[in-house]
Chains A and B, each alone.
Chain A
Amino acid sequence: MNGIRLFSSHLQRQHNILQVASRFTGTLVLAEHANDKLNPITLNTVNAASRLGEISVLVTGSNVANIAEQMAKVEQVKRVFVADHEKLKHQLPEYVAKAVETLQKQHKFNYVIAGASTFGRDVLPRVAAQFDSAPITDIITIHNGDTFTRPIYAGNALCKVKSNASVKFLTFRATAFKPAKESGGDGKIEKAPKIDFSFSGVEFLSQELLKSERPNLQSAKVVVSGGRGVGSADNFKIIYELADKLKAAVGASRAAVDAGYVSNELQIGQTGKVVAPELYIAIGISGAIQHTAGMKDSKIIVAINKDPDAPIFEIADIGLKADLHKAIPELIKAL
């Protein structure tokens, strides 16, 4: 189980270290889900984690048998641990962390991994603290069992790091890894060990989730995004209309969120969500580094802005200098 360091020390040739590692190391992936639905980020995480050894998954929650079954079928998954408890119903990080900690103490995985989402960012460092381990978050490249690259300074620099932590706590950026297949796996489902939930400092009250018929922002193939240039919440209608025409998700810049045009769940950027769709259409967005940090890995970037000097045009594959209030309705008609 604790093979990678031992083994790599007398393995002088580095080229096949990943295959070697995969036979000797255990990796725990935290499954993320909401209301009986698996969050797709878990699949990206499993795929990335499969490069770091045999995969076990932990599913936490209340009445989550179906999620466990779904996870067991995911390609590469060998074991699924289920921590099913009323206390885990809303998956508060304090309780999820207890579940991960208990399982880790028993099985001593070499890696504990989650997606770099609110859930993963919340839980993973809290557990890492119990094992005196410095986590590495938002990884975009795995070089080998202990070396990773992550963006810093809003994606304006890439930092390659080597972790000497005995247990590595990592989060992966979903858009940097392909999802694992949802079938083909034959994981064994087991009950997680009994967890001590005697913690009373936190209580879930309510949740207000944004309901949308549109595809999920982080997995959408096309994203149409509006900025301050859109002008008002009312004007944002044309952004939605264009998105519907393209079966796209809707995003926004921080300026549009701060101005109250849309709610913050739609924010793309360093402090919002990171997307990398096939097509990203930036409308009325100037292209501040805060924003481009969240979308510059998109395959094709289209920018529509009336200011030809807007920095967004420096990274756009296709630029159109135009008044969006005229151009977007025209574009909708033409599509």
Chain B
Amino acid sequence: MRALVAVKRVVDYAIKIRVKPDKSGVIKQNVQHSMNPFDEIALEEAVRLKEKQIVKEVVAVSLGSSKSQETLRTALAKGADRAIHVEVEEAMAEKIEPLLVAKILRKIAEAEKPDLILLGKQAIDDDCGQTAQLLAGLLNWPQAMYASVVEQESDKTFIVTREVDGGRESIRIKTPAVISADLRLNEPRYATLPNIMKAKNKPLEKKTPSDYGVEVAQQTQILEVTEPPVRKSGGFVEDVPSLVVKLKEVGVV
């Protein structure tokens, strides 16, 4: 069985982002970037399936500027066997929408014939949460979104527990299938120094969208990016009785 994992390079989750004064986006220069946390979880799951000998090969894919190669090297260091980088110019990388990513992943899936495609449930920059569903739709494959448990049942079936609004839901999916990882699926490992060194020799193939016959088009135009309205702190109260007084004043209690 082969697993394809899509990983995205994003501004690190711990960074407090700042909006550009010209409102064209957020400041990304000289800002720490890393692998999208949900993609780390998706990758970890693929590597664990390999360790259980369910999966033979893990292929990591990233679409983005040349800097996305760092993210792919990280994926290789964490256990992916090889990587595919679909490169676009940096200016374009800012504007890529999930539909384009899904279209390219479909072409890669057609070429690589994976049994499972794993993705994070959303990227923490655009917060779209669409790519996995779009991809499953394009391929007409079953989709198991927001997975918190993935267990192989037979050669061609997996039981997936999904985190849904009211609780949990269990489904059986037949491969090939698309899975998106929720936070509680696993605890991703750290890449060790020897593995980081080894990752340098693992194959990393470079492609462009046109290699896959996909036109880089945009349906969504970003008009402006602004700061959200700032909430002001209302200060402290001394003790519980004065808290109760305040709550009664505003009429919520």
Residues of A within 8 A of B (CB): 34, 92-94, 97, 117-119, 121-130, 132-138, 147, 150-165, 199-210, 222, 246, 254, 258, 263-265, 270-271, 273, 278-279, 289-290, 296, 299-302, 308, 313-322, 327, 330-331, 334-335
Contact = CB atoms under 8 A, between A and B. Distances in A.
B137 A97 contact: yes
Determine the interface band of chain B, counting residues with CB < 8 A from chain A. 35 or more
Contacts of A315: 231, 233
Q: SS class of chain A's interface: helix, strand, loop or mixed?
A: mixed
Contacts of B121: 271
A126 B143 contact: yes
A158 B191 CA distance: 34
Contacts of A161: 220-223
Contacts of B169: 204, 206-208
Given A129-B137, A278-B252, A320 B234 contact: no
B125 A152 contact: yes
B145 A151 contact: no
Q: SS class of chain B's interface: helix, strand, loop or mixed?
A: mixed
B117 interface: no
B219 to A, nearest CB: 4
Given A157-B228, A318-B247, A93 B219 contact: no
Contacts of B252: 222, 278-279, 299-300
Interface in B8-27: 11, 13, 16-17, 19, 26
Contacts of B107: none
Interface stretch (B71-79, B81-89, B172-180, B195-203): B172-180
5 contacts: A126-B143, A163-B220, A201-B142, A246-B253, A296-B228
B220 A136 contact: yes
A216 to B, nearest CB: 9
**Which residue of B99, B218, B222 has the most chain A CB atoms within 10 A of its CB atom?**
B99
B68 interface: no
Contact of B228 (A151, A258, A335): A151
**Which residue of A154, A161, A271 has the most chain B CB atoms within 10 A of its CB atom?**
A271
A97 B228 CA distance: 34
B220 A319 contact: no
B243 interface: yes
Given A162-B223, A321-B236, A334 B241 contact: yes
Contact of A302 (B122, B146, B243): B243
B226 to A, nearest CB: 5
Contacts of B16: 156, 289
A39 to B, nearest CB: 8
A80 B241 CA distance: 52
Contact of B122 (A132, A202, A271, A330): A271
Interface string B206-239: 0000000000001111111111100101111101
Interface in B167-196: 167-174, 177, 182-184
Contacts of B171: 92, 202-205
A117 B140 CA distance: 22
**Which residue of B102, B141, B164, B182 has the most chain A CB atoms within 10 A of its CB atom?**
B164
